[in-house]
Amino acid sequence: MLTLVRIQSCLASMPYIYFVANLLTEILPCGVLCIFCIPADIISTVEFNYSGELLATGDKGGRVVIFQREQESKNRPLSRGEYNVYSTFQSHEPEFDYLKSLEIEEKINKIRWLPQQNAAHFLLSTNDKTIKLWKISERDKRAEGYNLKDEDGRLRDPFRITTLRVPVLMPMDLMVEASPRRIFANAHTYHINSISVNSDHETYLSADDLRINLWHLEITDRSFNIVDIKPANMEELTEVITAAECHPHQCNVFVYSSSKGTIRLCDMRAAALCDRHSKFFEEPEDPSSRSFFSEIISSISDVKFSHSGRYMMTRDYLSVKVWDLNMENRPVETYQVHEYLRSKLCSLYENDCIFDKFECCWNGSDSAIMTGSYNNFFRMFDRNTRRDITLEASRENSKPRAMLKPRKVCTGGKRKKDEISVDSLDFNKKILHTAWHPKENVIAVAATNNLYIFQDKIN
């Protein structure tokens, strides 16, 4: 059952529609809050902060939009699940590298929050070349009663000042300010695909196709190169770095994945340059199933440590795998996301969809995982019961008083009433970016230029 909560225009160019719904699923009974953006803003990253009270999205236009969760009130007891626009700012602008005759687009590749230390919030955002540290702060008072200038800001004639005034703070409408505090540039030759904040909260790493750099948050003019897989002869290049992440508890440990489907765990205590890995994770390939597309679909698009730090999750084109850090030879769990597309790999190769990079995420207790698929489907897997479910994020299925039901894909034979044929899937509608609230069953799903937020069922 859907209940329309609010329709409002938060920005002149951005209509947002908010509503809450009941979602009847076996894994996550939840409601949905949909935020419809203008078509030009294709969402390129989604990230909750450490408390889950703020949700940041970045788009291809270089803009960051931050949503804040509404606090529950006596007058509106069901408003707790709503996320409203808190701040929006332009993070990156298009640039041009004149030495390489290369255009640097403004698209936000990744956003990572820093743990909150005071009243302000800090986040890192990056495009292909430049990483920026942003401070988001509130201001609800202004100073009045200056001696050297009038209230409108004009300077006063010093000879007409006869008395000394003490400035006072006066209340004003709440204003959220976003200001760049650090700019980390000129350290990556290739496109940045990952940034990850270290557990010491003082350093972070950034990765591009061939190198990984370690930065200190207070130092912008230099970084330490900790991984470099660039060969002396580029013709000998056989793989590239696709993702990297710091361990959630051990500040000396990080992992990075490659286009060959391998994951390397490195320990920065062993050497300054971590070209030699401490652990190497790879699943042996079945020779009987090898094809022309094997290497492409085995490329890892995302890697995420579990909150406990005991496991890590990787996403390739067709599946999600969970690895135990103590067992390198094979994953402990494998979940097929859209195995029915294996017979469609030729056409997916022709339309370049086979190169899509899907992300994955854990829930707060590491008991469930989520990732996206095509046709605006997203998949959720319960690790305890081994149940899985396919859901669809679409405006048509999120109408007031409608039920959002699990979806099934028919791979052959007679199609049932509620099933959709694999030939009817829309590959232009895809969910690449997902995020899970760190403490609650609240998930954010980016479907091209639409952001959907699902939450626990409201009674």
How many whole angstroms separate alpha carbon 68 and alpha carbon 118? Answer: 17
Q: Read off the pTM.
A: 0.84
Q: What is the mean pLDDT of residues 225-238?
A: 94
Cα 287 from chain centroid (whole Å)? 35
pLDDT classification of 80: cutoffs 50, 70, 90:
low
CB 377 within 8 A of CB 390: yes
pLDDT at residue number 459: 47
pLDDT classification of 33: cutoffs 50, 70, 90:
low
pLDDT at residue number 27: 42
How many whole angstroms separate alpha carbon 456 and alpha carbon 93? Answer: 38
For 306-326, what is each residue's pLDDT tens digit? 999 999 999 999 999 999 999
pLDDT at residue number 36: 43
* 346-353, Cβ contacts within 8 angstroms, sequence gap of 24 or more: 346/293, 348/427, 349/293, 349/296, 351/427, 353/427, 353/430
Residues written for the chain:
459
The residue whose two tokens read 């997203």 is 378
Asked if pLDDT for residue 134 goes beyond 90, the answer is yes
CB 319 within 8 A of CB 336: yes
How many whole angstroms separate alpha carbon 234 and alpha carbon 237? Answer: 5
CB 109 within 8 A of CB 193: yes
What residues are paired with 110 via a beta bridge? 126
How many whole angstroms separate alpha carbon 77 and alpha carbon 73? Answer: 5
Q: What is the mean pLDDT of residues 101-114?
A: 93
For 354-377, what is each residue's pLDDT tens digit? 999 999 999 999 999 999 999 999
How many whole angstroms separate alpha carbon 382 and alpha carbon 367? Answer: 6
Q: What is the mean pLDDT of residues 408-416?
A: 78
How many whole angstroms separate alpha carbon 417 and alpha carbon 439? Answer: 37
For 249-296, what is each residue's pLDDT tens digit? 999 999 999 999 999 999 999 988 998 999 999 998 888 778 889 999
The residue with greater pLDDT, 154 or 87, is 87
Q: What is the mean pLDDT of residues 35-63?
A: 84
pLDDT classification of 12: cutoffs 50, 70, 90:
very low
What residues are paired with 263 via a beta bridge? 257, 281
CB 194 within 8 A of CB 211: no
Lowest mean pLDDT: which of 133-142, 346-355, 384-393? 133-142
